[in-house]
Structure 1
Amino acid sequence: MNKIVYILLAIVSFCVVSCDKIPENGDLDGNWQLLTIEEHNSGEVVSVKEQKVFWAVQLKLIAYRSADNSYLSRFVYDGDSLFLYNFYRHTRYEDYLLTDSSTTELEKLGIHGISGRFAVESLDKKRMVLNSNDSRLVFRKF
């Protein structure tokens, strides 16, 4: 009887442990809504909360959603900086790699060009602030 209990306990514990991926990025993992973009050149602070721009972070991939487009990118996060690269425009049938370095397509997401390098100004379970040479982005987690 004890053998059966131990075997069942082992099976249950393996199932519980193997069901989910372990978060690699600490508080960065999860769903973020972009609230404001502060452009350093002009000093202008633009509220984008109503535009519903979202970043979903998991493992080594970020999915970006706005009202009109979806994008994907790879990233490297080391605790105090975030580097975004290999942006793809996500469509229903295919993903297209963005290669034009002068594109303005990602600016509504707070990203200039086809890569982004941000200093992580603050990050906790509810709020994130990213700072680049071009802009400062403020997010809330939901």
Structure 2
Amino acid sequence: MKCYIVIFFIGVCMLFVCSCELETSNNGDLDGMWHLVRVDTLSTSGVKYMEDDKIYWLFQFKLLQLEDKSGTKVSLLMRFEHKDNILRLYDPYIYDRTNGDKPLTDISLSAPYGVNSLEENFSIESLGNGKMVLCAESLRLYFRKL
């Protein structure tokens, strides 16, 4: 009788293991929380240091959350693709847990995060050792990983 219980238990455990499929993000160093510490405006050579601001990009699997920890700016969600040295951001939403996320149409809401269009491609100039530099058409963004 004891043998049947053990066999049954092993069978149930195997069903649980076989029924689940683990997906991994393959984002490497990109995954995690990044603090936006500097923004360079390429056309004017302007530099804005943002270490004291609380602007963060949070990457997880295929979703990017843009968040202002001071609470003065609306939080956003975007899908992203990371391939080779290109980071493509697209499909932005205003993050609202209470009333439901709404598609972003006003690009001025994403500008404080360094995103100036509803779909934007960044070249990844560097990524590693807790630092990341992204370059778009008009901006270069510097991040520090937390």
| TM-score normalised per structure 2 | 0.79
**Quick check: 1:97 aligned with 2:103?**
yes
Point out where structure 1 has 5 or more consecutive residues left out of the alignment: none
Give the ranges of 4+ consecutive aligned residues of structure 1 lying more than 2 Å apart after TM superposition. Answer: 20-23
Alignment of 1:124-135 (within 5 A): 124-135=128-139
**Pair 1:85 & 2:115 matched:** no
Separation of aligned partners in 2, 1:98 and 1:65 = 14
Structure 2 counterpart of 1:87, one-letter code = P
State the shift of 1:43 in Å.
1.1
CA–CA distance in structure 2, aligned partners of residues 70 and 88 of structure 1: 9
Partner SS for 2:108:
coil
Tell me how far 1:99 sits from its aligned partner.
Answer: 2.8
Alignment of 1:1-142 (within 5 A): 22-66=24-68, 67-68=71-72, 69-91=74-96, 92-100=98-106, 103-142=107-146
Identity of aligned residues (%): 31
The one-letter code matched in structure 1 to 2:92 is F
TM-score normalised by structure 1 residue count: 0.81
- Equivalent residue of 1:113, what SS? coil
- In 1, Cα distance between equivalents of 2:23 and 2:143: 24
**Which entry has the higher C-alpha Rg, 1 or 2?**
2
For residue 49 of structure 1, report the CA deviation from its aligned partner: 2.1
Deviations 1:27-82 (A, max 9, x none): 10111010011011221111122220011101110011013221100011103000
CA distance in 2: counterparts of 1:106 and 1:48, whole angstroms: 16
Q: Give RMSD over aligned pairs.
A: 2.8
